[in-house]
Amino acid sequence: MKTISVVAPMYNEESLVHAYCEQMLMIADSLKDKYEFEIILVNDGSRDSTYTKMLEEHEAHPDNIAIVCLTRNFGLEGAVSAGLRSATGDAVIVMDADLQDPPSLLPEMIQKWEAGADVVTGSRIRRSNDGFFKKAGAGFYYKVLGSLSGKVKLEKSAANFRLLSRKACDMILALPEVNSVFRVEVPFIGMKTDVVEYDRDKRYAGKTKYNLKSMIPYALDSITGISVEPLRRIWLLQIIPLLLFIGSVAGLIISDELRSAWLVLLFASILTGVLLIAVCVVAEYIGQIMIEVKGRPTSLIYEYKPCKNTKTGSKGN
């Protein structure tokens, strides 16, 4: 029988460990004639009782619930990567634990995988439950990312809700980078991809870990992870001070009015701003080079508790 691994990263999610497991076990039960389920709960350094709750679920459902406990909070990407490294299934599904990625879609994703897709992507056609700033921020992020991705085809509004065949999962794990952003790595590997569309539900319980401020470093990691286009296009910024420069020179030649002096001042300050932006873009890439050169792991596993459906040979690291 084929095994499906489901990876769910959790950080301070005590209020939804049980609800998540309950829903996933229902899905596992409805498909039990065809598939075995390995549901991997990744504890990403939670400070509340998430881990205790995970242990309770593991003890109550030793066939299906496996646990990966990280040494500290590494962030969503580190948690996803630890889950992928521990997964032993023929297909691996990554999903948020807050039930915003509906478990009811799993049978359709599995069906598309069985029909030949190596990657099945969850695409959020509506985000009716997200606030204005989150929606606007996400819209801008996907637009920028899409315009920089070159030959890598990004699916619209696709985040971490994905199914990967064993082959696709192994390819992702073999990518050497430290700055691993799952949502840009999956389209990078290519392979036959299918899509399931869904309306993003409200969070079942607890609070989001991402506000607009914490999304900025994440967005920068994705951009530097997918493209060097910002470095190539940065020269375009000089167009604004150049126009102002021409304006000020023309102004000074035509008249010696005070207005022209203001234009010169404006030119100087905009030029400084543009230079600073250019330095920041370069610095961002230098920072990424440093991270890659150090070569530290994206996350460290403190404890790994497989379930009975875990295939033997799992490294759990």
Indicate which of ligand UDP, Mg ion, none lies near residue 73 (CB less than 5 to 8 Å, by partner kind): ligand UDP
Under a CB-based contact definition with an 8 Å cutoff, are residues 167 and 65 in contact?
no
Q: Which of 44, 77, 98, 155 binds Mg ion (CB under 5 A)?
A: 98
Let me know: does 194 contact 119? Beta carbons within 8 Å. Answer: yes
Choice from 127, 135, 209, 311 touching ligand UDP (CB under 6 A): 209
Q: Which of 21, 67, 76, 93 binds ligand UDP (CB under 6 A)?
A: 76
Q: Which of 133, 140, 210, 262 lies at the binding interface for ligand UDP (CB under 6 A)?
A: 210
**How many Å apart are CA 292 and CA 288, to the nearest integer?**
6
Nearest C-alpha neighbor of 88 from the set 128, 145, 40: 40
Of the two residues 36 and 96, which places its CB atom closer to ligand UDP in the complex?
Answer: 96
Q: To the nearest whole angstrom, how small is the minimum distance from the Cβ of residue 200 to ligand UDP?
A: 8
- For the bound state, the minimum distance from the C-beta of residue 256 to ligand UDP, rounded and expressed in Å, comes to 57
Interface with Mg ion, residue 100, by CB under 5 A:
yes
**Phi/psi of residue 68, each to 5°?**
-120, 120
Per-residue binding string, ligand UDP, 39-58, x by CB under 6 A, is -----x--------------
Judged on CB neighbours under 10 Å (0-12, 13-18, 19+), 219 is: middle
Q: Are 1 and 77 in contact (CB under 8 A)?
A: no
CB closer to ligand UDP, 98 vs 118: 98
Integer-rounded Cα radius of gyration of the chain: 24
Tell me the one-letter amino acid at 229.
Answer: E
The reply to whether 185 sits near ligand UDP by the rule CB under 6 A is: no
193-199/119-126 β-pairing: parallel
Q: Which residues bind ligand UDP (CB under 6 A)?
A: 9-11, 13, 44, 73, 75-76, 79, 96-98, 100, 208-210
